[in-house]
Amino acid sequence: EDQVTQSPEALRLQEGESSSLNCSYTVSGLRGLFWYRQDPGKGPEFLFTLYSAGEEKEKERLKATLTKKESFLHITAPKPEDSATYLCAVQARGSGTYKYIFGTGTRLKVLA
């Protein structure tokens, strides 16, 4: 069964304290792995797409990496405005190739 697990569920950081969020996945064949940011009361906003192991993407203080079993979202020197829930999702190959499976997210709080 295709599955996505995110850890930790919640994370509190001091401003400037770097850390990583984890997304472990089990899929029959990975078509793509996605990271989204979700602010309270809003829809998810796209951050990154990763397609193959070894791939890395960067945007400002965020860097996403991918292995065959997991993805990491590294946050370098976070600021309070980085506080949000970060969602990981996978799209699997095979039948239902346009199905998406989301993890339950990591709630990040960055303290000033």
Partner 1 sequence: EAQVTQNPRYLITVTGKKLTVTCSQNMNHEYMSWYRQDPGLGLRQIYYSMNVEVTDKGDVPEGYKVSRKEKRNFPLILESPSPNQTSLYFCASRSTSGIHNEQFFGPGTRLTVL
Task: Name the residues that contact partner 1, by CB under 8 A.
Answer: 32, 34, 36, 41-46, 49, 87, 89, 91, 96, 98-105
- Report the residue number, 72 or 101, with the smaller CB distance to partner 1: 101
Q: To the nearest whole angstrom, how small is the minimum distance from the Cβ of residue 91 to partner 1?
A: 7
Q: To the nearest whole angstrom, how small is the minimum distance from the Cβ of residue 17 to partner 1?
A: 26
Asked if 25 contacts 69 with a C-beta cutoff of 8 angstroms, the reply is yes
Distance, CA of 31 to CA of 13 (rounded, Å): 32
Q: Which candidate, 83, 47, 80, places its Cα nearest to that of 65? A: 47
What do you get for the CA distance between the two ends of the chain, in Å? Answer: 41
- Report the residue number, 14 or 41, with the smaller CB distance to partner 1: 41
- Report the residue number, 27 or 79, with the smaller CB distance to partner 1: 27
Distance, CA of 78 to CA of 96 (rounded, Å): 37
Q: To the nearest whole angstrom, how small is the minimum distance from the Cβ of residue 15 to partner 1?
A: 28
